[in-house]
Amino acid sequence: MRILLVNDDGIYAKGIRVLANHLRTLGEVVVVAPDRQKSAAGHSLTINDVLLIKEVEIEEGFTGIAVVDGTPTDCVLVGVKDLMKDDPPDFVVSGINHGANLGGDILYSGTVAGALEGLANGFKSMAISLDVHSDEGYFETAAVVATKILQTPELFEGIVEERSILNVNVPNVPLDELNGYRITRQGKTQYENYLEKYVNPQGKTFYWIGGDRPPHELEEDTDSFAVANKYVSITPINIDLTNYALIGKLKKILPKLMF
């Protein structure tokens, strides 16, 4: 098995290092990651500057490629278009992210974007995140989960043809405290107080994007409900954003736009 491993927390993050170590038991792992934190980069792509790379030691005898000021999308392209172009990966894996990517989080997530870019290039792809925002989490739990999922090929059957990835979120608990796995839908998230406005002593206005962590929808079939109840959430995400249910309705209104 050949795996391209990327993330958005940077090549020095604990999550990608723990995951790389576990995935090496499955086969060859090529690590390509930003050289610095790129959380919430979304599906951004560097087009107005060059991309420099440097080799970084992940652990003794194992190195990865750091893309200087690169995004997760950039990293996937460096991996599939150059480093692995002659022997393509079987999977593109993005993570382990420091923090869950539930509900509306996926709109901003560089972790999810890395997996979607893998899909856009024709590869079976998975994003994996741990519900913790520090290095003190149970990253080993998430790494074991990721390994188990990759060893279950039925989960990926037809996934590229369906233009989908698997978005996996893992509760921050020891492995033996997990209640199992659930196939879920993306829940809803309402961000509150997310843009904070300040005025400095010189009278200049500045903004800080942050605010309170929003509440998540906790209906039983959602990703947030699963993680809150110590289940691994596996959500198939489609790259096609078309709202097919509205097409018929909008077509009926279309004559009103005619000149």
Residue 151 counted as domain residue: yes
Whether the CB-CB separation of 163 and 215 falls below 8 Å is answered with: no
Task: Tell me whether residue 125 is annotated as binding.
Answer: no
Distances (CA, A) of 25 to 11, 114, 124, 126, 143: 20, 22, 19, 18, 11
pLDDT digits (tens, 9 = 90+) for 46-98: 888 899 999 999 988 899 999 999 999 999 999 999 999 999 999 999 999 99
Q: Is 97 among the annotated ligand-binding positions?
A: yes
39 is known to lie in a ligand binding site: yes
Indicate whether 219 belongs to any domain. Answer: yes
Cα separation, 173 vs 11, in Å, equals: 24
Say if 57 falls within a structural domain.
yes
Domain with residue 210: its CATH number is: 3.40.1210.10
Token match 């520090």: residue?
A: 134
Residue 104 within any structural domain of the chain: yes
Q: Count the domains in the chain.
A: 1
Q: Using one digit for the tens of pLDDT, what is the confidence trace for 93-149?
A: 999 999 999 988 898 899 999 999 999 999 999 999 999 988 899 999 999 999 999
* Of 97, 217, 216, 232, nearest in space to 168 by CA: 232
pLDDT digits (tens, 9 = 90+) for 169-228: 999 999 999 999 999 999 987 666 567 788 999 999 988 776 556 666 688 999 999 999
Is 8 labeled as ligand-binding? yes
Residue 44 has pLDDT above 70, yes or no: yes
Token reading at 54: 């440097």
**Residue 228 forms part of a structural domain:** yes
Residue 73 counted as domain residue: yes
CA 6/CA 80 separation, integer angstroms: 11
Domain that holds residue 132: 2-241
Q: How far apart are CA 178 and CA 256, in angstroms?
A: 55
**Within-domain flag for 199:** yes
Task: Judge whether 90 lies within some domain.
Answer: yes
DSSP conformation letters of the chain: -EEEEE-SS-TT-HHHHHHHHHHTTTSEEEEEEESS--TT-TT----SS---EEEEEEETTEEEEEETT--HHHHHHHIIIIITTTS--SEEEEEEEES---GGGGGT-HHHHHHHHHHHTT-EEEEEEES-SSTTS-HHHHHHHHHHHHT-GGGGTTTTTTTEEEEEEE-SS-GGG--EEEE-B---B--BS-EEEEE-TTS-EEEEE--BPPPB---TTBHHHHHHTTEEEEEEEES----HHHHHHHHHHGGGG--
